[in-house]
């Protein structure tokens, strides 16, 4: 089975999972019509993302529905493979399951070595018949990036930079998928834009996987702790659609195949009334 087609541009949205379901479904149909190649939804905190994947596949006809990510501590590989294999073939062709190891502080005592746990999960998926081309990994560190290219379609880094895309492509080689998430703050007022970026980053700066990656990319612990402007500007495209276009181009030039844009419209997520005009503006500017 071939890797699902995701084009060069997608949308990453927590609202598509945790917002009003009817509004989410209607918005997904509009994103499909706007030409986005993929819609990415989170699954890190629970086991409910597969049901939302099905719901979104049902209201779209063209774009891929992807997870960014399914938390492997929340799923049994055999059950996940059985769920996928029961989908109609045309839905399987539009499903890309991003998998992730999550974070030690969130998992607790059952936490194990990330590479070993991830590889074992992939072994069980493969034994249950799950096609590798419909999988990718949340990969930040070099070894996890390498594993993503060896065992799945490729890598889906989150809260990374174009420099990370350059390093990941060097590890992956030319063929595997590289599909980074990119935060976008379409707010003209610089102070308000930075408030939104800080609110979006506050939770993640406490998690070692992200902190370690930012240190590898050249940021100091002090910059991370303070959520310094240099870190915010590196992780988010702040300003108008021109800033988003430049950042997408930077990822693609660095070796990414696809960039999924996460619009940061509010401190706890945005409403669909806020998000849809911005998604439409981005599609028109970046198509």
pLDDT at 220: 97
146/108: higher pLDDT? 146
> What pLDDT score does 270 carry?
86
Regarding predicted confidence, which is higher, 229 or 106? Answer: 229
In this predicted structure, the answer to whether residue 105 has a pLDDT above a threshold of 70 is no
Instruction: State the pLDDT at residue 107.
Output: 65
Helix (H, G, I), strand (E, B) or coil at 11: strand
Kindly report, residue by residue over 227-269, the tens digit of the pLDDT: 999 999 999 999 999 999 999 999 999 999 999 999 999 877 8
What are the pLDDT digits (tens) for 158-186?
999 999 999 999 999 999 999 999 999 99
8 Å CB contact between 19 and 266: no
Strand-pair partners of 208: none
Q: Please give the torsion angle defined by the CA atoms of residues 227, 248, 17 and 81, in that order, rounded to the nearest 10 degrees.
A: -110
Contact indicator for 118, 139 with CB cutoff of 8 Å = no
pLDDT of 35 above 70: yes
User: How long, in residues, is the chain?
Assistant: 287
Nearest to 262 by CA among 194, 186, 195, 207: 186
Is residue 94 exposed (0-12), middle (13-18) or buried (19+ Cβ within 10 Å)?
buried
Q: Taking 90 as the threshold, does the pLDDT of residue 44 lie above it? A: no
Query: Is the confidence at residue 9, as pLDDT, over 70?
Result: yes
Average pLDDT, the chain: 95
User: Which two structure tokens, joined as six digits, stand for 95?
Assistant: 């499903």
**Which pLDDT band holds residue 104 (cuts at 50, 70, 90)?**
low
Residue whose entry in the numeric block shows the structure tokens 């596949």: 57
Eight-class DSSP state of 102: -
Q: For 109-159, write each residue's pLDDT tens digit.
A: 666 688 999 999 999 999 999 999 999 999 999 999 999 999 999 999 999
Q: Residue 194: beta bridge partners?
A: none
pLDDT value at 280 more than 70: yes
242 Rama class: left (phi>0) / alpha (psi -120 to 50) / beta: alpha
pLDDT at 109: 64
Give yes or no for a contact between 162 and 139, defined as CB atoms under 8 angstroms apart: no
CA distances from 30 to 11, 63, 103, 140 (A): 12, 11, 34, 31
Give me the pLDDT at residue 47, please: 92
Per the model's pLDDT, the better-predicted residue between 104 and 202 turns out to be 202
pLDDT digits (tens, 9 = 90+) for 192-202: 999 999 999 99
The vertex-129 CA angle with 127 and 134, nearest 5°, equals 115
Q: What is residue 236's three-state secondary structure?
A: strand
How confident is the model over 83-89, as a mean pLDDT? 98
Q: Indicate the pLDDT class of residue 45, thresholds 50, 70 and 90.
A: confident
Domain at 9-286, CATH homologous superfamily: Luciferase-like domain (3.20.20.30)
pTM for the full model?
A: 0.96
Question: By C-alpha distance, which of 137, 108, 134 is closest to 121?
Answer: 137
* pLDDT > 70 in the chain, percent: 96
């Amino acid at each position: 089975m071939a890797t699902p087609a995701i084009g060069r541009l997608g949308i990453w949205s927590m609202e598509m999972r945790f917002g009003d379901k009817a509004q989410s479904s209607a918005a997904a149909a509009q994103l499909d019509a706007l030409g986005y190649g993929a819609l990415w939804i989170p699954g890190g905190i629970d086991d409910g993302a597969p049901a939302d994947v099905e719901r979104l596949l049902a209201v779209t006809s063209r774009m891929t529905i992807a997870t960014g990510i399914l938390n492997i501590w929340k799923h049994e590989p055999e059950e996940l493979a059985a769920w996928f294999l029961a989908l109609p073939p045309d839905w399987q062709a539009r499903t890309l399951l991003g998998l992730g190891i999550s974070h030690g502080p969130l998992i607790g005592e059952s936490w194990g070595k990330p590479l070993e746990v991830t590889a074992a999960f992939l072994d069980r998926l493969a034994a249950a018949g799950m096609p590798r081309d419909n999988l990718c990994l949340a990969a930040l560190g070099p070894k996890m990036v390498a594993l993503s290219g060896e065992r799945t379609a490729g890598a889906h880094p989150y809260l990374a930079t174009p420099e990370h895309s350059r390093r990941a492509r060097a590890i992956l080689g030319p063929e595997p998928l590289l599909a980074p998430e990119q935060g976008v703050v379409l707010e003209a007022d610089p102070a308000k834009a930075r408030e939104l970026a800080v609110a979006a980053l506050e939770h993640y700066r406490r998690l070692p996987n992200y902190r370690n990656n930012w240190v590898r990319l050249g940021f100091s612990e002090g910059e991370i702790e303070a959520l310094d402007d240099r870190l915010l500007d590196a992780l988010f495209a702040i300003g108008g659609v021109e800033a988003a276009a430049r950042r997408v181009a930077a990822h693609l030039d660095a070796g990414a195949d696809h960039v999924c844009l996460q619009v940061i419209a509010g401190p706890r997520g945005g409403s669909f009334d806020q998000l849809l005009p911005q998604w439409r503006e981005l599609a028109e500017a970046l198509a």
